Amino acid sequence: MLSSSRFGTFYEPFAGSAALTIAACAADTAERFVIGDTLEPLTELWTQILSAPDALADEYERIWSAQLADPAAHYLKTRAAFNQAGRAAELLYLLARCVKNAPRFNSDGEFNQSADHRRLGMRPSKMRQEVAGAAALLGGRTEVRSLDFADAVAEATTRDLVYMDPPWEGTSKGSNKRYRDWLARERLIEVLEDLDARGVSYILSYDGRHGAKSYGDWLPESIGAVRLELVAGRSSQATLNGRAVTTI
């Protein structure tokens, strides 16, 4: 682990919303940042946020405004168009409108999350502020990579920090799949062991417990990491079902 409080490069190879990159950049945790993901429309979205925020905000406003006559039908039409062409602004709209702002994909890799019919998604004026804010914060210090996670962090050194939030084992199998791609446990362990052997510092968010139910098995000691269980509080879903359950 580094003695310095500032890292060279902060890597987030399963970027998604890049929430940790944004937080790390705001705290000036590293000199530069690498956002990676295998979902090309997502990496294209981040590329547009950094290189053409105004044009992206304009396109989002066009898509958002077109829904006002029939929001439900417009969402389905936009989702179908995205699954065909994979345009970044369409993905941004779907993320803003879908249930819990949580994307879901079917076995063919198509976005299939439903719309949250209680709302219309972030208003264009607010989205423009958010996009501009991310561009101002990350611009000039951030690289976007559309790569497999192992390739995205291949250049990481002892001066860097890698944060990984990969597809969790407990929600990648069975009927409760939440990710477009599944990550084999054995491959994750292989990459973690490689990072450890190279002396690269990393943080991994992976699996957990929900009441008496455990999601996935503990990772082996060979990865060289310390396991920390974080209490996330009372489960809102369990509360709705009349149960008191704590999520770890």
Beta strands in the chain (DSSP E): 7-12, 30-36, 142-145, 161-164, 201-204, 208-210, 213-215, 233-234, 246-247
Tens of each residue's pLDDT in the chain, 248 residues: 444 578 999 999 999 999 999 999 999 999 999 999 999 999 999 999 999 999 999 999 999 999 999 999 999 999 999 999 999 999 999 999 999 898 988 888 899 999 999 999 999 999 999 999 999 999 999 999 999 999 999 999 999 999 999 987 755 555 444 555 568 889 999 999 999 999 999 999 987 777 777 777 788 888 989 989 889 888 777 777 788 888 88
Give the Cα separation of 194 and 215 in Å (integer).
Answer: 25
Per-residue model confidence (pLDDT) at position 1: 44
Per-residue model confidence (pLDDT) at position 180: 54
The strand pair at 161-164 and 213-215 is best described as: unpaired
Per-residue model confidence (pLDDT) at position 73: 98
End-to-end CA distance of the chain: 26
DSSP structure class, residue 115: B
Per-residue model confidence (pLDDT) at position 190: 94
Burial class (CB in 10 A: 0-12, 13-18, 19+), 233: exposed
Per-residue model confidence (pLDDT) at position 61: 98
Beta bridge partners of residue 129, listed in sequence order: none
- Rounded to a whole number of angstroms, the CA Rg of the chain reads 19
Give the Cα separation of 127 and 49 in Å (integer).
Answer: 11
Per-residue model confidence (pLDDT) at position 236: 75
Check residue 229 and give left, alpha or beta (phi > 0: left; psi -120 to 50: alpha).
beta
Per-residue model confidence (pLDDT) at position 182: 65
Per-residue model confidence (pLDDT) at position 173: 56
